[in-house]
């Protein structure tokens, strides 16, 4: 009511004020008093009706914004345009009103209505949100002077998040914005100077306000603030999976996934919505990290029914309760059941008749599965077989299995079981099957670690930090791929729609992250200092653990799809027919039921075609002890010419090695025959160097390097039209490498530790294609 009263008062004051202004604040002529008396009630009625029609009365004065001002402009303008013909039709033909009154009234009415609202808002900002005497607000620096930064400033000023902060300034990478102001707050400078601004202005908290930062930006800023004892906050942007709408939800502390800088994937959700709408969808492992997110996103696409299958009671209860609260009209069917039991699986499929199956149930912890291979086979392999066979029997449209990067050249039981599942899924599409095939499309999606999943490294690190440390890292050079759970699941749903029979999809995981860097960043985000407040312990690789993971193996080729960040694997046919593979899998399961753990491992690795022990050694390299022995003993184990016999420099050799320490050993060995050695541990850096500096005589490289191989480097150098000898190095002989990797050796391979003379012989053999291996010399001491 107070608002209606103030609005009426403003309309009256504007009309009367128009007459006062028209006659220069003097006495209004008596001839004009009739037009004032007759026009005032008509104007007030017209104004109130038009303002009501534009719903101006619904806007709260204390939250007046530019939107409200534009609405008032429209309402007042329409009111004036309506008043003029009404006045001329009623009293204007015998009572004269100056035309300037119309314009003055419009201006005064708009000014008064906007002014009243602005005054209320200013009063609220400056008085209601005033801090008590002596109260100190946290001083904040906002990273990002764009739309999100301006939004955060307004939110912080109004204390909508219940936090008392004062924004001191902005920083931004765009030099055009430097020196400018946003609502009176200065843009201090560039993001690279954050540390100096924190010291200069006494900053307590850094607010990140960039929705799509470049890769590594947040990490650089956090690292630059090391030891300053500042907090790092940002805002959660809530995105609706079905509509793509984004809004600011709440302020929160910066998380480790924010530092990875992965750009949000933008995919067209319409095919997923059209594919899942009205369907019955079954999700196995519905209570897990991936399974529960699958349930959330699938539910947003209006399926007819969603079936939640899990053996764990509590997680299943939680996701069931969450979905019922968010989607009260959705038919949700929770089932407690173990996929190892075929009768349970058959009952679920017979009762629900799902059209889509997303299989996320699996044992995933590497050390546990390494000591319990029988359980790994029964749950991962047998459970997958039960679900896949039931899906085919009941004419499901699509069956999508969640795989892992650990299935690539697996060195552990868990990875081997997932590779076995991939082969099993592919074989289900074979036309060799004699039973009636209703056309179920079977596919798998392979990706790396997801951030924040149950039992993953990040929650473990956080618990160790909360307990005061130390943080346990298995190896300082270990790397892993990471992706957020919502991003991975959104791509999995896309794969389910575009899948063709036998497809194995591989998600683009971006750049691998060092686990040591991850631990250090989490220490910084907690406001602690490494080595002062908390320490990092190196514990050594666990059984079956790799130094780095891969997404494709030798013989596999990736082809991009039309969906961003989704590739499909093009590979050779599985040599085992479905009947043969099914028989072998059942024999494997029988061994697991009988708890013959060693025989389970042996048959499992034989079926997937890898020697686990050799694969483990090849991928992880020597143990730390053995590496240091190699570095220390290499120069002593081979014959190196004495210093006085060394010849003039013969040339430069570029060594691309997995460990730079080995580069130092090479430098000492090859100096004996007059070669200078530069060493790098990155193939990309090596190619960049070779493109600009062509003064090298040869390239030495490890057979296996992170994310590359010697033959791949050889081909890329050839593509650069460089006539440069490329010689590989390995701890294994040529025959072992050829059998293990199933490749034809087409380049010289030196077995470490080699002598300077052997290197020269390999260099000479490069021009003779018939010589592809330098024999291991007699008398050279070999390492265990």
CA distance from start to end of the chain = 91
- The CA-CA-CA angle for residues 575, 581, 584, to 5°, reads 125
Q: What is the distance between the alpha carbons of residues 495 and 643, in angstroms, rounded to a whole number? A: 62
The answer to whether 157 and 167 have CB atoms below 8 angstroms apart is: yes
Residues 88, 92, 94, 96, CA torsion sign: negative
Residue 403 · residue 444 · CB < 8 Å: yes
Q: Give yes or no for a contact between 282 and 331, defined as CB atoms under 8 angstroms apart.
A: no
The b/e string for 148-183 (b: 16+ C-beta within 10 A; e otherwise) is: bbbebbebbeeeebeeebebbbbbbbeeebbeeebe
Structure tokens at 427: 């074989």
* Rounded-to-integer distance, Cα 50 and Cα 77, Å: 9
The residues that bridge with 620 in the sheet, in sequence order, are none
Closest C-alpha to 740, from 767, 709, 783 = 709
Q: Can you tell me the distance from the alpha carbon of 638 to that of 774, in angstroms, rounded to the nearest whole number?
A: 15
- 668 pairs with which residues across the strands? none
Instruction: For residue 579, report the phi and psi dihedrals to the nearest 5 degrees.
Output: -65, -40
User: Which of 387, 467, 449, 432 has its CA nearest to residue 580?
Assistant: 432
CB-count burial class (<10 Å; 0-12, 13-18, 19+) for 403:
buried
Alpha-carbon torsion (340, 341, 342, 344), positive or negative = negative
460-481: buried (b, 16+ CB within 10 Å) or exposed (e) per residue? ebbebbeeebebebbbeebbbb
Look at the chain and count its residues.
784
Cα-only R_g, the chain: 36
Q: Alpha-carbon distance 677 to 691, whole Å?
A: 17
- Give 780's DSSP letter: P
Give the whole-angstrom CA distance, residue 699 versus residue 507.
32
Cβ 273 vs Cβ 302: under 8 Å: yes
Q: Mention every residue, 6+ apart, whose C-beta is less than 8 A from residue 551.
A: 405, 408, 446, 447, 448, 481, 506, 507, 509
Identify the sign of the CA torsion 643, 649, 651, 657. Answer: positive
| Bond before 753 cis per omega within 30 degrees | yes
Q: Please say whether the beta carbons of 448 and 403 come within 8 A.
A: no
Both tokens of 750, joined, read 């030196």
Nearest residue to 518 via CA among 462, 572, 467: 462
- 317 burial (CB, 10 Å; 0-12 / 13-18 / 19+) is middle
State the chain's maximal CA–CA distance in angstroms: 127
Q: CA 483, CA 265: separation in Å to the nearest integer? A: 11
Place of tokens 């959705």: 330
Show the tokens assigned to 320: 């069931």
CB atoms within 10 A of CB 141: 21
Backbone angles phi, psi at 599, to 5 degrees: -65, -35
Q: Which residues are catalytic?
A: 406
The angle subtended at Cα 515 by Cα 509 and Cα 516, nearest 5°, is 145
């Amino acid at each position: 009511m107070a608002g209606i009263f103030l609005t009426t008062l403003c309309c009256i004051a504007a009309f009367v004020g128009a007459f006062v202004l028209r006659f220069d604040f003097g006495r209004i002529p008596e001839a004009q008093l009739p037009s004032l008396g007759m026009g005032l009630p008509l104007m007030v009625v017209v104004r109130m009706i038009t303002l009501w029609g534009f719903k101006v009365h619904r806007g709260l004065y204390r939250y007046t914004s530019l939107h409200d001002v534009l609405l008032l402009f429209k309402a007042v303008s329409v009111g004036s345009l309506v008043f003029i013909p009404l006045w001329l039709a009623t009293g204007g033909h015998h009572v004269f009103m100056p035309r300037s009154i119309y314009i003055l009234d419009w201006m005064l009415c708009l000014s008064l209505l906007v002014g009243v609202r602005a005054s209320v808002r200013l009063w609220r900002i400056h008085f209601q949100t005033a801090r008590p005497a002596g109260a100190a607000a946290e001083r904040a620096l906002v990273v990002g002077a764009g739309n999100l930064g301006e939004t955060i400033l307004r939110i912080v000023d109004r204390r909508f998040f219940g936090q008392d902060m004062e924004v001191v300034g902005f920083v931004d990478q765009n030099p055009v914005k430097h020196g400018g102001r946003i609502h009176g707050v200065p843009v201090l400078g560039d993001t690279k100077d954050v540390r100096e601004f924190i010291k200069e202005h006494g900053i307590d908290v850094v607010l990140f306000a960039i929705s799509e930062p470049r890769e590594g930006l947040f990490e650089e800023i956090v690292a630059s603030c090391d030891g300053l004892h500042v907090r790092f906050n940002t805002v959660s942007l809530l995105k609706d999976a079905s509509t793509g709408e984004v809004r600011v939800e709440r302020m929160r502390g910066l998380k480790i996934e924010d530092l990875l800088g992965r750009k949000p994937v933008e995919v067209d959700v319409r095919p997923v919505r059209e594919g899942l709408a009205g369907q019955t969808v079954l999700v196995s492992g519905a209570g897990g990290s991936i399974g529960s997110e699958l349930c959330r996103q699938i539910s947003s696409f209006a399926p007819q029914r969603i079936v939640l299958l899990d053996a764990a009671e509590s997680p299943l209860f939680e996701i069931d309760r969450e979905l019922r609260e968010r989607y009260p009209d959705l038919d949700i069917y929770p089932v407690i059941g173990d996929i190892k039991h075929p009768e349970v699986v058959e009952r679920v499929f017979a009762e629900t008749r799902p059209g889509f199956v997303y299989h996320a149930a699996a044992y995933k912890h590497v050390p546990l599965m390494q000591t319990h291979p029988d359980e790994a086979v029964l749950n991962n392999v047998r459970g997958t077989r039960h679900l896949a066979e039931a899906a085919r029997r009941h004419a499901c449209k699509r069956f999508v299995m969640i795989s892992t990067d650990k299935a690539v050249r697996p060195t552990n039981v868990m990875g081997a079981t997932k590779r076995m599942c991939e082969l099993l899924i592919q074989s289900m599409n074979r036309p060799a099957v004699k039973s009636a095939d209703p056309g179920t499309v079977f596919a798998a999606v392979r990706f790396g670690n997801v951030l924040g999943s149950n039992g993953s490294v990040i929650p473990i690190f956080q618990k160790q930090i909360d307990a005061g440390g130390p943080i346990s890292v298995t190896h300082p050079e270990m790397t892993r791929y990471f992706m957020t759970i919502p991003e991975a699941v959104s791509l999995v749903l896309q794969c389910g729609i575009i899948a063709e029979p036998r497809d194995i999809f591989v998600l683009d995981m971006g750049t691998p992250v060092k686990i040591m860097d991850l631990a250090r960043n989490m220490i910084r985000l907690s406001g602690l200092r490494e080595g002062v407040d908390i320490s990092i312990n190196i514990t050594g690789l666990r059984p079956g653990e790799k130094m780095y993971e891969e997404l494709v193996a030798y013989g596999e080729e990736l082809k991009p799809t039309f969906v961003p960040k989704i590739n499909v694997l093009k590979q050779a046919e599985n040599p085992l027919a479905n009947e043969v593979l099914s028989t072998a899998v059942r024999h494997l399961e029988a061994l697991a039921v009988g708890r013959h753990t060693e025989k389970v491992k042996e048959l499992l690795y034989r079926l997937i075609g890898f020697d686990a022990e050799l694969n483990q050694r090849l991928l992880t390299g020597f143990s730390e002890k053995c590496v240091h022995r190699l570095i220390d003993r290499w120069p002593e184990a081979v014959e190196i010419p004495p210093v006085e016999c060394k010849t003039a420099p013969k040339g430069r050799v570029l060594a691309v090695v997995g460990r730079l320490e080995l580069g130092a050993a090479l430098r000492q060995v090859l100096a004996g025959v007059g070669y200078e050695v530069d060493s790098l541990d990155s193939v990309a850096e090596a190619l960049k160097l070779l493109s600009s500096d062509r003064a090298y005589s040869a390239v030495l490289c490890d057979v296996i390097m992170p994310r590359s191989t010697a033959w791949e480097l050889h081909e890329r150098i050839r593509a650069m039209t460089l006539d440069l000898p490329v010689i590989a190095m390995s701890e294994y002989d040529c025959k072992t490498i050829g059998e293990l990797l199933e490749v034809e050796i087409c380049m010289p391979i030196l077995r470490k530790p080699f002598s300077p003379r052997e290197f020269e012989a390999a260099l000479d053999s490069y021009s003779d294609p018939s010589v592809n291996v330098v024999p291991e010399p007699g008398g050279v001491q070999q390492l265990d």
